[in-house]
A and B are shown apart, each in its own frame.
Chain A
Amino acid sequence: METLIEPLSFAFFQKGLFVASLSGALLGFIGVFIVLRGMSYIGHGLSHSIFGGFAAAQLFAAQFYLLGAGLWGIASALAITTVAKRSRVGADAAIGVITTASFALGVALFAKFGNSGPSFESALFGSILGISVTQIVGLIVISAVAGLFVFFRYRSLLFMTFDPEVADVSGVRVNRTDAYLMIILSLSILATLTVIGVTLVAAMLVIPAVVARMLTDSFSKMLLISTIVGTLSGLIGMYASYYAGVPSGTMIVLVGAAVFGIVLAITGGRGLRRSVGLDSHAETVVVAPIAAR
């Protein structure tokens, strides 16, 4: 009990605990859509891309670095979806080029000009020190927006995630909904970046969703379980990070990975079978039998 209460006497830890749990919940929630659409790699790319925006924006206006990074992230998210849609082949390569170049630019800018925002290491691996009120408010607002968006667009989102072509035919505005989802994804990554870190944020998009997928065959339950797993990873990871004295992102991801291991051990082959095909959608081309028999 003491171990749980003691760190709470520090204001920075209270803030950190709140931000980490909410970040975990938000990423777990959005991650379901990302993972089910086989877009895990986009999450990974986006976080790196946003880092470039992060570094570049603070050069020009230190106080607006979040805004700059956000715009940068949204721009790259939309660029990626456009590229991915135009030509299915080569989308991975395009993401690789756009986002790693952006990341490299960020590292170069950091190294050359230093920084006025969070330190280099905390940007990469997450830190709970120096969480500003703006960031907390931002995270709450983005979580609320994400929650409301999914709530009011639930069926369209589900339809489009499951079967984009038929959704399109059935009156779902696929392109628009897709763009909204990508914007919310970029903003979510941005809002959670400081606590979880550029290099680790993608893991928190993927792990809770995969764990949830192993536990259920129902979409609504997957959404719920993934959010809970994300929250718990954030919560437990924060304590672990406090006691181990390591960056918060690392411990949050490690806790998530541990949960994955435990669930894998419990569900065994069944869970694994369920998670099969999360990344590669059924694109089996079956030669239609010519009916002349």
Chain B
Amino acid sequence: MKISSPASSVLREQAKPLCSGCCLGTLKPRSGTITTAPDLRIAYVPQLETVNWNFPITVEECVLMSRTQGRRLPWASAEEKREVARLLDRLGISQLAGRHIRSLSGGQQQRMFLARALLRDPQLLLLDEPTSGVDVSTRHDVLHLLADLHEDGVAIVLTTHDLNGMATHLPHLICVNHKIVADGSAAEVIRPEVLEETFGARMDVLEHLGIRVVVDEMPESRLIEEAR
């Protein structure tokens, strides 16, 4: 797989080490080689469930921590403060800057980590399940933000289990289940046989207003009713 600049999506959980570990060289591939551009700026948005929410840290402190290069002083410069404020504003959480991270909702937490990642001005943005545990409006915002970043030339790789909310909206999908099952656009990849090989469960794919919708396989009678 070559990550140049198309936004990609990888399904299934093996993808996390796949994209983060390999790009950094913390994991060695069993076969093949990985070449990264020298001084590639990578930013990573973790899955919310893996975060230590009891850690004593405010939203502003959390966003700022990712700026480890350059300035050596602990506190933010005026310029950095402006940058953080601008990012929080862009993500719609500027009023939360001084709050403790645990007091945020799932969607706000996701936006905070996006802000932290964006402060690094990344060339490659990795996200682990960015829409798990967030509400519908945050999911939409995340999708739009990612689309904007993609426009700006940021390469985006994310893992997701969210087929309808996320995967079908992405330009390029890779289904992974120990090996690459399928690789291509949503139209090419979101097919019952591919999904069954990826997830080990039978699913049906419908089409609604030109977008593919994945549903659990239903008894034939209901399926016909749904399709109407």
Contacts and interface: CB of A to CB of B under 8 A. Distances in A.
Interface of A: 36, 151-152, 154-156, 158-159, 161-163, 165-166, 168-172, 213, 216-220, 222, 274, 276-278, 281-282, 284-286, 288-293
Nearest to B113: A166
A162 B120 CA distance: 17
Contacts of B199: 290, 292
B137 interface: no
B24 A168 contact: yes
Given A162-B65, A292-B214, A213 B56 contact: yes
A291 B65 contact: no
B149 interface: no
A158 B65 contact: yes
Given A159-B66, A170-B44, A291-B214, A218 B57 contact: yes
A277 B68 contact: no
A289 to B, nearest CB: 6
B51 A168 contact: no
B220 to A, nearest CB: 18
B164 A293 contact: yes
27 contacts: A36-B55, A36-B56, A151-B73, A152-B72, A154-B74, A155-B67, A162-B55, A163-B46, A163-B52, A169-B43, A169-B126, A171-B41, A171-B68, A217-B100, A219-B55, A220-B75, A277-B54, A284-B49, A289-B132, A290-B161, A290-B199, A291-B163, A291-B165, A292-B203, A292-B215, A293-B164, A293-B216
Interface string B211-228: 000111000000000000
A218 B58 contact: yes
A170 B215 contact: no
Contact of A222 (B44, B53, B56): B56
A291 B68 contact: no
Given A155-B64, A162-B55, 20 more contacts: A151-B74, A155-B74, A158-B61, A159-B68, A162-B52, A170-B66, A217-B56, A218-B57, A220-B61, A276-B54, A277-B52, A282-B51, A286-B49, A288-B161, A290-B199, A290-B201, A292-B163, A292-B201, A292-B214, A292-B215
Nearest to A221: B56
7 A-B pairs closest in CB distance: A154-B74, A277-B54, A217-B100, A169-B44, A291-B163, A286-B49, A159-B65
A163 B61 contact: no
B52 A289 contact: no
Q: State the majority secondary structure of interface residues on B.
A: loop
Contacts of A220: 61, 74-75
B160 to A, nearest CB: 8
B62 A162 contact: yes
B193 interface: no
A171 B126 contact: no
Contacts of A165: 46, 50
A105 to B, nearest CB: 36
A170 B215 CA distance: 37
Contacts of B126: 169
B94 to A, nearest CB: 18
Given A166-B46, A169-B42, A170-B120, A288 B13 contact: yes
B57 A170 contact: no
Contacts, number: 117
Interface in B36-90: 41-44, 46, 49-58, 61-62, 64-69, 72-75
Interface string B16-45: 000010001010000000000000011110
A156 to B, nearest CB: 5
A261 B214 CA distance: 57
A152 B74 CA distance: 7
B216 A292 contact: yes
Nearest to B117: A170
Contacts of B50: 165, 282
Contacts of B68: 155-156, 159, 170-172
Interface string B145-178: 0000000000000001111110100000000000
Contacts of A36: 55-56
Which of B49, B65, B132, B164 has most A Cβ within 10 Å? B65
A198 to B, nearest CB: 29
Contact of A169 (B24, B69, B214): B24
A235 B54 CA distance: 31
Contacts of B44: 166, 169-170
A163 B67 contact: no
A161 B61 CA distance: 13
B67 A218 contact: no
Nearest to B162: A291
